[in-house]
């Protein structure tokens, strides 16, 4: 699968989140390739009160948001689950796109083994897709070109006829921003 160049992540973060819908997320581990078409994303910027990097605040947890475009930002939620993001904008900007849902296309048997669930529940949430693909939190901070986790052009036509915007999920601030994008 042809990796999208890191420059893709240099545009406006909200536009990147929308443009990622219909692309393919690819994870290559030691034994196989697992992939899925990105169905849902969310954008987070430095001026967004729901963002980990609100007002440019850099911490040990969010430092990967400030790395070069396309770098991997993985963080823990609820103390046990992990979520996957790609950093956006030039290095030093704390912006990222959360990958919320995939339509599995490659390595589905492995994904089912990793999650022990039905196909319908396999990758329909940010923590679920990280579990299904077996993405290690050790990839946090990995630059885009050094990573075995990347975005590729989708080989077949996108299964989505349109991309709609919605309020983001699980936030209490910035709720009025329709920065969740979903392929339908």
Structure confidence at residue 168 as a pLDDT band (50, 70, 90): very high
- pLDDT tens string 8-41: 999 999 999 999 999 999 999 888 999 999 999 9
User: Average pLDDT of 113-141?
Assistant: 97
Closest to 72 (Cα-Cα) out of 148, 154, 180: 148
pLDDT on residue 79:
87
What 3-state DSSP class applies to 21? coil
In the chain, domain spans = 6-155
C-alpha pair distances (Å), 55 with each of 17, 23, 102, 170, 178: 20, 30, 30, 20, 20
Mean of the per-residue pLDDT values for the chain? Answer: 96
CATH 3.40.50.300 fits 6-155, yes or no: no
H/E stretch holding 42: strand 33-44
How many other C-beta atoms can be found within 10 angstroms of the C-beta atom of residue 55?
10
pTM (two decimals): 0.96
Nearest alpha carbon to residue 87 among 58, 112, 109, 107: 58
Q: Quick: pLDDT tens for 145-166.
A: 989 999 999 988 888 999 999 9
User: Residue 124, SS3?
Assistant: coil
Structure tokens at 46: 């430095």
pLDDT 10s digits, 57-86? 999 999 999 999 999 999 999 889 999 999
Do β-strands 96-106 and 149-152 pair in parallel, antiparallel, or remain unpaired? unpaired
Instruction: Provide mean pLDDT across the span 105-111.
Output: 97
Structure token pair of residue 159: 């299964």
14 contact partners, CB below 8 Å, separation of at least 6? 43, 45, 179
């Amino acid at each position: 699968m042809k990796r999208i160049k890191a420059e893709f992540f240099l545009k406006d973060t909200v536009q990147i989140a929308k443009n990622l819908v219909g692309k393919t997320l690819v994870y290559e581990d030691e034994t196989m390739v697992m992939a899925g078409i990105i169905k849902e994303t969310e954008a987070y910027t430095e001026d967004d009160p729901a963002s980990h990097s609100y007002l440019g605040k850099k911490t040990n947890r969010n430092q990967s948001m400030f790395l070069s475009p396309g770098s991997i930002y993985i963080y823990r939620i609820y103390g046990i689950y992990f979520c996957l993001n790609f950093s956006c904008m030039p290095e030093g900007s704390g912006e990222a796109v959360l990958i919320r849902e995939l339509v599995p296309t490659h390595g589905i048997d492995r994904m089912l083994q990793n999650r022990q669930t039905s196909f319908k529940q396999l990758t329909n949430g940010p923590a679920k897709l990280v579990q299904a693909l077996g993405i290690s939190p050790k990839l946090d901070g990995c630059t885009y070109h050094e990573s075995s986790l990347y975005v590729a052009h989708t080989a077949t036509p996108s299964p989505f006829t349109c991309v709609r915007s919605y309020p983001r999920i699980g936030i209490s601030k910035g709720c009025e921003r329709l920065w969740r994008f979903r392929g339908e």
